[in-house]
Structure 1
Amino acid sequence: MKITILGTGGGARAHTAKLVELGHEVFVGTRDPEATLARTAPDIMGNAPYKEWLADRPAVTLMPFGAAAAAADELVINGIDGHNAVAALSAIGDSLAGKTLIDYAVPYIYQHESEHPWPTPWGVMPKLDPCDTDSLGERIQRALPGTRVVKSFVTQEQTTVVDPKAIGAGDHTMFVAGDHDDAKLQACELLRSYGWTDILDLGPLVCARGMEMYAHMHSAIGFGLNQGFGGHFGIKVVR
């Protein structure tokens, strides 16, 4: 299958590498491919320059966002940062029409002013916007009415999403939410190909609010486990 990943960060790289391993033809979208390939310093998260990472994966095609989205058969994964996702996706709405978009972005605002800041090992915890009464997943769906948006992957580090057996032999839970049953089935099929056996459908896309707000709890658990940024652990819903 031809599958597109939008973004070149660490999470997007994890999905890209796994999809290639599974035999898919993978297209990666970025705002400006020339600028992406020209970078020589690690990104803000410490990932190696994309050109170096891509050199070991000649089967991957790097393209502008719109062209990459258009190249997908049906499935696109959104790895664009949450603060910029709606604007970037809206600009390529025609290329995403009729396709399933799995969104794992967290709507974080970094370097914000807070009356009661939450200190973390890397500074102050970013804030969620939107939160409570809306979600990034819902905003993307409203901006792209012709696209089937599914919220998933967001409750776990992406390196674990593509390799669930790295934790607890894979015995933990992944969640999906969306307003289109056929799109959720596509997301579940992809998750099963990654190795997930416990997938919980939370229902409509409004449940993306809970998944996105869990991001803070994910960080808090990581702190409690002394894992710093990110977290090598899973969540299990015990029925």
Structure 2
Amino acid sequence: MKIAILGTGGGARAHIAKLAELGHEVHVGTRNPKATLARTEPDMVGTPPFGPWLAEHPGVELHSFGHAAARGELIVSGIDGHNAVSALSAIAGQLAGKTLIDYAVPYLYNPDIEHPWPTPWGVMPTLDPCDSDSLAEQIQRALPDTKVVKAFVTQEQTTVVNPGAIGGGDHTMFIAGEHADAKQQALDLLKAYGWSDVLDLGPLVAARGMEMYAHMHSAIGFALGFGTHFGIKVVR
């Protein structure tokens, strides 16, 4: 299958490598391919530059967002939440009729708030939108001809592509969306990754809870020790 991954950060790289390993044709999208390949310093979270990493993954092609989306039959978006709607709206034509799996958290970094939450990397970002809307819903409204599914967002992406690394894979992944066929595509991909427990939360409005869970995920991670990977299980 031809799959487009939009983004070049650590999470996107986990999907790129796994999908290539599974035999898919992977097309990677970035805002400016030349600038991405020219970078020699780590990004804001310490991820090494993409060029040397790409060189170690022959067969993976780097394009602009639009060119990658045009080539993909299924789209996975890791574009950061602050820029996702504008970036995806600009390539709406290339996304029309396709399933787009969004795993971004709508973080606003370095917020100026009255009661900040200190973390090992600085002040915890705030969520915008929150409560009465979600990033996934904003994307769906901006792209009415695209089938948006929210998934992957409640885990580190390295765990999404390798659930067996935690508890033998006995933990829960969530999906939400308005289109049954699109959710089935997300489910098929998750099964290929190794997931056996996937809970469909229903319509895309459930993405609000999935995105807001990011703060709880961080709190658990801090309690276990920064950098500890873990899963959560819905017992029913």
User: TM over 0.5, yes or no?
Assistant: yes
What residue number does 1:70 align with? 70
- Structure 2, unaligned stretches of length 5 or more? none
Give the aligned partner of residue 235 of structure 1: 232
Aligned to 1:179: 178
Partner of residue 5, structure 2: 5
What displacement does 1:58 show? 1.4
How far residue 4 of structure 1 moved from its aligned partner, in angstroms, is: 0.2
Give the distance between the partners of 1:31 and 1:59, measured in 2 at CA.
20
Q: Does 1:35 align with 2:32?
A: no
Residue 144 of structure 2 is matched in structure 1 by 145
- C-alpha deviation, 1:46, in angstroms: 1.2
Aligned residue type for 1:77? V
Identity in percent: 74
1:124 aligns with 123
Q: Partner of 1:82 in structure 2? A: 81
Match of 1:45 in 2: 45
SS in 2 for 1:83: coil
1:195 matches 2:187: no
Match of 1:213 in 2: 212
The Cα shift of 1:192 comes to 0.2
SS at 1:82 equivalent:
coil
The Cα shift of 1:166 comes to 0.3
**Residues 111-169 of structure 1, C-alpha deviation per residue, up to 9 Å, x if partnerless?**
11010100111110000000000000000000000000000000000000000000000
TM-score by length of 2: 0.99
Distance in 1 (alpha carbons) for counterparts of 2:207 and 2:113:
25
| C-alpha distance in structure 2 between counterparts of 1:112 and 1:235, whole Å | 28
What's the counterpart of residue 96 of structure 1? 95
Which one-letter code corresponds to 1:102 in the other structure?
Answer: I
Backbone CA RMSD of aligned residues = 0.6
Report the residue type matching 1:147 in the other structure: T
Query: Displaced runs of 4+ in structure 1, greater than 2 A?
Result: none
> Structure 2: how far apart are the matches of 1:47 and 1:58?
20
Which amino acid in the other structure matches residue 92 of structure 2? G
How many Å apart are 1:211 and its aligned residue?
A: 0.1
Letter in 2 for 1:237: V
Q: After TM superposition, give the deviation of residue 21 of structure 1 in Å.
A: 0.2
Structure 1: unaligned runs, 5 residues or longer? none
What is residue 134 of structure 1 aligned with on the other side?
Answer: 133
For 1:33 and 1:72, the matched residues in 2 are separated by: 17
Q: How many residues align?
A: 236
* Structure-1-length-normalised TM-score: 0.98
Q: Secondary structure at the match of 1:42?
A: coil
The residue number in structure 2 matching 1:163 is 162
- Supply the distance in 1 between the matched residues of 2:140 and 2:76 (Cα, whole angstroms): 14
